[in-house]
Amino acid sequence: MSASGKDGEASPAGLNTESERQLAVLARNLRHFRAQRGMTRKTLAQQSGVSVPHLARIEGSQGNVSVVVLGKVAKALNEPLANLLTADDAMSGDLAVIVELLKRQPRSTLTRIREQLLAEHEPTAAEKNCRIALIGLRGAGKSTVGKRLAERLNRPFVELNREVEREAGLSLQEVITLYGQSGYRNLERRCLERLVASYPEVVLATGGGLVVEPLTYEILLSSFSTFWLHADPEIHFRRVMDQHDIRIAKPALYREAMDNIRRTLEARDLLYRMASYAVDTSPLSIDEVVGRIADQVTG
Q: Do 129 and 78 lie in a common domain?
A: no
- Residue 100: inside a domain: no
CATH code, domain with 250: 3.40.50.300
d(CA 69, CA 7): 7
pLDDT, mean of residues 177-194: 90
Domain residue limits at 215 = 120-298
- Residue 104: inside a domain: no
- Alpha helices by DSSP H, the chain: 17-36, 41-48, 52-59, 67-77, 81-85, 94-103, 107-121, 125-128, 142-153, 160-168, 172-198, 214-223, 233-242, 254-272, 286-298
Mean model confidence pLDDT for the chain? 83
Q: Do 140 and 84 lie in a common domain?
A: no
d(CA 30, CA 55): 9
Q: Do 132 and 274 lie in a common domain?
A: yes
Q: Do 274 and 150 lie in a common domain?
A: yes
- Residue 48: inside a domain: yes
Ranking 21-30, 32-41, 92-101, 141-150 by mean pLDDT, the lowest is 92-101
- Residue 113: inside a domain: no
- Residue 213: inside a domain: yes
Q: Do 238 and 138 lie in a common domain?
A: yes
Q: Nearest-CA neighbor of 21 among 61, 55, 53?
A: 61
pLDDT, mean of residues 252-269: 81
d(CA 154, CA 43): 67
Q: Do 59 and 144 lie in a common domain?
A: no
Output the pLDDT for position 81: 85
Q: Do 44 and 130 lie in a common domain?
A: no
- Supply the Cα-derived Rg of the chain in whole angstroms: 24
Q: Do 132 and 190 lie in a common domain?
A: yes
Q: Do 29 and 67 lie in a common domain?
A: yes
pLDDT beyond 50 at 6: no
More confident: 245 or 211: 211
Q: Do 282 and 144 lie in a common domain?
A: yes
- Residue 70: inside a domain: yes
- Residue 131: inside a domain: yes
- Return the percentage of the chain with pLDDT > 70, whole number: 85
Q: Do 177 and 50 lie in a common domain?
A: no
Q: Do 260 and 141 lie in a common domain?
A: yes
Count of structural domains within the chain: 2
Residues contacting 254, CB < 8 A, separation 6+: 237
Output the pLDDT for position 150: 97
Q: Nearest-CA neighbor of 24 among 73, 65, 53?
A: 65
Output the pLDDT for position 65: 81
- Residue 57: inside a domain: yes
CATH code, domain with 49: 1.10.260.40
